[in-house]
Structure formats: C-alpha cells, structure tokens
Structure 1
Amino acid sequence: MGKVIAVTNQKGGVGKTTTTVNLAASLAAKQCSVLLVDLDPQGNAAIGCGLDKNTVQFSSCDLLLEEATAIEAIVAIKEIGLDVIAGNSDLTAAEVALMAADNKESRLLKGLKPVRERYDFILIDCPPSLNMLTLNALVAADSVLIPMQCEYYALEGLSALMETLRNIQDTVNSNLKLEGILRTMVDTRSRLTKDVSQQLFKFFDQKVYQTSIPRNIRLAEAPSHGLPVRLYDKASRGAIAYEKLAAEFLANEKSRENE
C-alpha cells in the first residue's frame, strides 16, 4: 500500500509546492509510481505539472465532497510519468462545506483508500495554513515533510508546527510521523543559513535532510512552463538538488524497511 506524505508548513512562500512537484517528478523518474494530490486552492501544484486547474473534469474538491471518486479525479501526466488530482479555487468553498459534514476530517483518507495500493507514494500539497483541508491531509498521511527557509522566524514557526503535529497524533492520527525537514531557498554563503542549519541538526538530527534546495532561478521559471525543473533544465542547480533529495528520500525508506 502506498505511503502518503503530506508536504506542509503553516508559513507560505517556503517552497512547499515547488518541493511537492519536483520531489514527485524526481521519484517518478526513479521508476516509482506517484500520485500528487493538490489540496491548495491556488492550484499551483497542478499548474506546475502542466494541468489547467480550471478545466479538469473533477478536482480534489469533488473528492472531499464525495462528488467524485479518486479514480475519476486522477489525471495521468505522461510527460512527467505521474498522476495528479488537481486543486483549484473550489477548495475554498469545499472547506466551508466540510465544516458541517459528517467525518469532515477524514474525507481524504476515505477518498484515497481505493487507490493507495496503485502507488508507491502519494504526495499531498497542503495549503499554507492549518485549516480543514490541511487537517484532512494530516489525517490521511503516514508522514509529514516540512520545507522551511533557514530563517530565525522559520524556527519559531517550526516549533508551532511540531506542536500541531503532536496534537494531531494525540487526537486523530496516532500513526503520523515526521518524514523529514527540508531546507529550501538556501544561500550557502549566509552565516544565518549555517546557524539555523546547526540548530535544526541539533534538535532534529537525522530528520533533517542532508540535501538542501538552493535559491535557483530555474526553479522559479519552471512552473510557468508547466514542467518540473528536471524537464525544464535538468542541468540546473535546482534540478540536481531535487534529484539528490529523491535519492536520499528513497535511501531513508530502504533503511526503515531494513530496521
């Protein structure tokens, strides 16, 4: 059965969607079967995979409201080698509708259950807030991957997010684990980057990926072409970094299997 990973951070602009799209694409390139679920009303993960979020027949909104099945909502992106359930602005209304619904926090868990065994990994791009959409992702997930910038404010935000994860574990998903912390938009020349990295490794040790993602113009350009960076500019620093991340991610998986 496929492992479900929620990519989340309550702070926006940390490279969350960039990470979801590019890690998914890099895993697919390594012969993994991957489903990307876009739960962000902005729909940028779908756009980054070349989908028109406003013309898909069914979206993650329909899945959450039980107006479509996952099988109906999945779109195969052959050029990238992965499947996508798109998100769009309808998710904003879905969040309101879910508040009055039965089993409101477990709709995604239920919706993905029939297709989990089709995939090695299901990556969920969460909105940058702790709302009903993110809660659905955290209930459905086996683990959480947290992208973050190397800033002191980000450390405070990470502390709050870890408290949220503990609350989720105590209430609705006792099996939820921390997949890893990914440093994004890294400037290796910065003393602040080095200081924050030291703090992360001190407190989270092996849960911090050795791989970090640099600031890279190609990463910023790729979504406007509807492509992950590995298909836009495979030789770019951003593409190389996400290839390394995928390799480290898979090595971690293999290590856990052998424990």
Structure 2
Amino acid sequence: MASTTDATPGIGNARFNTDAANWDSNPSIQLATSLAFQSYLSRLPPPSELSSFNVLEIGCGTGLLSLMLAPHVRSLTAVDAAEGMIEVLSSKLAPGGAHEKVKNVRPVAYLLEDPEDPVIKIDPVTGQQWEGKFDLVISHLVLHHVADLPSLFRTIYGTLKPGTGRVITTDFENFGPEARRFHPEAKMEGVERHGIVQKEMEEILRGVGFEDVKVERGFVLQKRVESEPGKGDMESGPVMEFPFLVCEGRRV
C-alpha cells in the first residue's frame, strides 16, 4: 500500500529541516549509512526469518537506511521529528519518485515518546490499524542528538515484542576531546553529546530492562573534518577516523 505521512505542526529541528534537501548528497552520510546497514544485517536473522519482521526506525532522516533495509523485511515504519526529512523520504516513495515501487515503508513526521502512540499503530503494508509490537527497532546517528537517552530506550522497549523484540542502534563513539570534530562548529545545534560511551550505553540498556545487552565497536568511518574549529572547510579538511558503536538488546 502507498506510504503515508503523518505530519504534526511545530515538531522537528530547524537545522534538519534546512539540511534535508541536500542531506543525501553528503558522502560521509552515505558511507556511514552503508556501513551501518552492513552491521545490522550481520547481526540479524537469516532472510527466511527477517522477511517476516515489522521494523520501527527512530530518526530515519531521508530514509537512506530505511530503503536499504526495506527489501529484507515485511514492513518498516520510519519516524523522524524533522518534517523536512520526512518530506524528502515521502517524495522518494511517491509516484515518479526514485523508490516508488517500495510499498512497505511508512514515513511518519513525529516526535515519538509513547510506545502506545496511535501514530505507529498503522500497518505500512495494509494501511489498517495494527495493535501489534515490533520485531526490531533501529536507529542510526540519532543518540548523540537525544538529551534523555534512558527515556528514549524506555520508549523503544515498550514498542518491542515481549521476549523476542530487539533493538539495534549505531552512533559514533566518544573517544575523547577529538570526537567533537565529527561535526563542524556551525552544525552544533541539536548536538547533545559528542558521541556515545560503551559503558554508559550498557548501563542505560540494562537499566530500562533489556537483556542480552551488547555494545561493541562495529565499524570505523573515515570522515573529513574542519582543519580548525569553525573554519568551515569540511570538504577539503583532513580525514579522521571515527569508530562507531553498535548497541544491542532484547526485550524480556
């Protein structure tokens, strides 16, 4: 069934709404997403099982990861608080769009805080109301923008199937002061932390009830950075390596 957008006025981050139109043209974003996708696939069940999964993505952006994963799963509900990002994803799925043949992705412009929110209770495939829980929740390069991570993971926990539902998230690691260089100084709006920390993430996941918790380095992204803070020369600056942590857990 055709994907739909549930836009709520006043939500989203102004920076991301502004950046949405050019988001996909950033080679670092494309590369990070491809590396994350491979990390997800290597940790997920074989195709025979994965093809039955209903997936929730939090902070989907323009749907780069959503559209990579969509052919492998039954459905994907793609949520982002920035309306501009969802508009780009919706345009990809619309008739004439680059991904118009994809019928199992449902874009939703929303700041999800309640695991029982009706906004995620619509089946992307049938368009009908759905009272089930998700097999998998994913989130890529979102955690460093979230002020209250325990609250986010409590919400994620509540959206998952008891006993089998899993969360897998990816974000760059806070390996020290140099991790700040992941973002140019002009793009610090909405950055709550300069990467995530392994031990802290393990404590957060266990603290909200997840079992089989694993937080480990999944891949390393080579990314250009400013030669000096605030110089704005990201396209010609030096290349740095940023390790990414993969955070996993299973709902009890």
TM > 0.5: no
Place the TM-score, normalised by the shorter chain, in its bin.
0.3 to 0.5
- Greater helix content: 1
TM-score, normalising length: structure 2: 0.36
Q: TM-score, normalised by structure 1?
A: 0.35
